[in-house]
């Protein structure tokens, strides 16, 4: 059995003669809904009537630029003019650039930048993601972010449009600013040659699953790009927020979706097999990969390409059975794979790893999508029982962030699952609150 490679940038080991030969499907076109509109500016504005976003004539500077815009008042309140000054670029990807702003904004010239910015009127720091508008496609990210309101999902404050000297139209999503992401936190521990303390692994992954439980059940959204870079961390409170919904989509049963989605290390095997009718369980696989990475300090499946990614998975899970392949993509059932035995999970992790952590990873990283636990079931796993203790504190003796202020994601959950999710002291508080509410009505 080949040993697991060390580090995210390892040299790929020599490929054995029995390496699976996988036919890769041709990369499909994006599954955005096409729009037959003559004016891309009109189509962009039509998606944001509620927020009354103005089109701002901007320049092409990167930082230090100030933009003023008017946001619509709510509940009869008057409209408000706010200004943003871009302070620095905090991220860039294929779908946008994120900037840090202090509330008063400027935008970056790139595919999809994110800025840190400051509002000049209030001094509030925000993040602004700048997305180039394509007249052929709807902007799904704005529509989805408007639906979401959860402590573990980054919140959308408002949005506006801006143009460049080349008359390009950009949608600017103004979001709460969270200073770090999971990738940088992991990098910090690796730089000190340390493992992340287990209490933080529990706290971070619990919040990831709580956020996924919400987006999967309430708006019914599949994120499709869960990875450390898209998990924001407030290093003071240790609250985690899922961000970057540029790849997210509401999945409809029977409707085909693109399979070339999700960053490689975190891509579910059914996507590698070219499945187009997948479910939100692809996010569960990705979150399982993040859990393993926090425990190991390095990616569990660091494939160099799509084929090598499947090889890395097979080295741990073994060759998928015919039934498992059918569950991932029925078109591959007659494809022959060399028979490789699964690597025991207890050998994947170090000897002192708690058995509850190993058990949770094994339940998340299953070939068959239907066998993976749901996000809410993951939250109820015994691995997180320490977080449900009444007097648990962070290593610096600060309290944990709120973990049990569930929203609508508990609707439909069984009483047995709810009893495992909510500590007894929380259930007592809820009961007392209901009694007080009933007495006052």
Kindly report the three-state secondary structure assignment for every residue of 131-165.
EECCCCECCHHHHHHHHCCCCCECCEEEEEEEECC
Structure tokens at 168: 């390009």
Burial label, 424 (beta-carbon count in 10 A; 0-12, 13-18, 19+): exposed
Buried b (16+ CB within 10 A) or exposed e, 222-249: bbbbbbbbbbbbeeeebbbbbbbbbbbb
- In 3D space, the residue among 321, 314, 303, 318 whose CA is nearest the CA of residue 267 turns out to be 303
Q: How far apart are CA 96 and CA 98, in angstroms?
A: 7
Alpha helices (H) in 300-423, listed in sequence order: 306-317, 322-328, 345-348, 355-364, 375-379, 415-421
Q: How far apart are CA 13 and CA 11, in angstroms?
A: 6
> Which one of 46, 48, 225, 385 is the catalytic residue?
225
Phi, psi (5° rounding) for residue 185? Answer: -65, -45
Q: How far apart are CA 209 and CA 188, in angstroms?
A: 23
Catalytic-residue membership of 225: yes
Distance of CA 386 to the CA centre of its chain: 24
**Using an 8 Å Cβ cutoff, are 116 and 86 in contact?**
yes
**Using an 8 Å Cβ cutoff, are 152 and 379 in contact?**
no
Whole-angstrom Cα Rg for the chain: 23
**3-state secondary structure (DSSP) of residue 90:** strand
For 353, which DSSP code?
A: S
Q: Is the dihedral of CA 232, 233, 237, 240 positive or negative?
A: positive
**Using an 8 Å Cβ cutoff, are 37 and 24 in contact?**
no
Q: Is the dihedral of CA 83, 86, 90, 91 positive or negative?
A: positive
Task: Enumerate the active-site residues.
Answer: 225
């Amino acid at each position: 059995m080949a040993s697991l490679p060390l580090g995210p940038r390892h040299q790929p080991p020599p490929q054995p003669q029995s390496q699976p030969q996988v036919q890769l499907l041709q990369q499909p076109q994006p599954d955005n809904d096409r729009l037959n509109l003559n004016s891309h500016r009109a189509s962009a504005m039509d998606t944001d009537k509620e927020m009354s976003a103005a089109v701002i004539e901007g320049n092409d500077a990167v930082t230090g630029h100030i933009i003023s815009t008017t946001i619509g008042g709510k509940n009869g309140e008057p409209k408000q003019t706010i200004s943003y000054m871009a302070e620095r670029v905090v991220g860039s990807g294929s779908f946008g650039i994120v900037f840090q702003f202090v509330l008063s904004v400027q935008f970056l010239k790139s595919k999809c930048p994110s800025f840190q910015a400051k509002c000049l009127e209030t001094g509030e720091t925000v993040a602004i993601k700048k997305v180039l508008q394509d007249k052929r496609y709807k902007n799904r990210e704005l529509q989805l972010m408007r639906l979401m309101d959860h402590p573990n999902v980054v919140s959308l404050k408002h949005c506006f449009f801006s143009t460049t000297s080349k008359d390009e139209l950009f949608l600017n999503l103004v979001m709460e600013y969270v200073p770090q992401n999971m990738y940088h936190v992991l990098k910090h521990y690796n730089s000190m040659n340390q493992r992340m303390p287990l209490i933080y692994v529990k706290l971070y992954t619990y919040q990831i699953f709580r956020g996924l439980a919400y987006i999967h059940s309430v708006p019914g959204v599949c994120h499709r790009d869960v990875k450390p870079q898209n998990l924001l961390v407030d290093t003071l409170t240790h609250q985690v927020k899922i961000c970057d919904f540029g790849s997210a989509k509401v999945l409809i049963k029977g409707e085909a979706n693109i399979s070339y989605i999700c960053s490689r290390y975190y891509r579910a095997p059914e996507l590698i097999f070219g499945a187009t009718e997948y479910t939100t369980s692809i996010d569960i696989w990705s979150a399982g990969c993040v859990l393993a990475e926090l425990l190991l300090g390095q990616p569990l499946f660091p494939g160099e390409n799509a084929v090598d990614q499947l090889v890395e998975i097979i080295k741990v899970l073994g060759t998928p059975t015919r039934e498992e392949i059918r569950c991932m993509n029925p078109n591959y059932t007659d494809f022959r794979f060399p028979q490789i035995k699964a690597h025991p999970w207890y050998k994947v992790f170090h000897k002192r790893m708690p058995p509850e952590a190993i058990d949770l990873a094994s339940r998340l990283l299953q070939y068959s999508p239907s066998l993976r636990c749901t996000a809410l079931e993951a939250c109820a796993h015994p691995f997180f029982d320490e977080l449900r203790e009444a007097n648990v504190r962070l290593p610096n003796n600060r309290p944990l962030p709120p973990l049990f202020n569930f929203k609508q994601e508990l609707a439909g959950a069984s009483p047995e699952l709810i009893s495992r999710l909510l500590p007894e002291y929380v259930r007592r508080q809820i009961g007392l609150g209901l009694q007080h509410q009933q007495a006052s009505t």
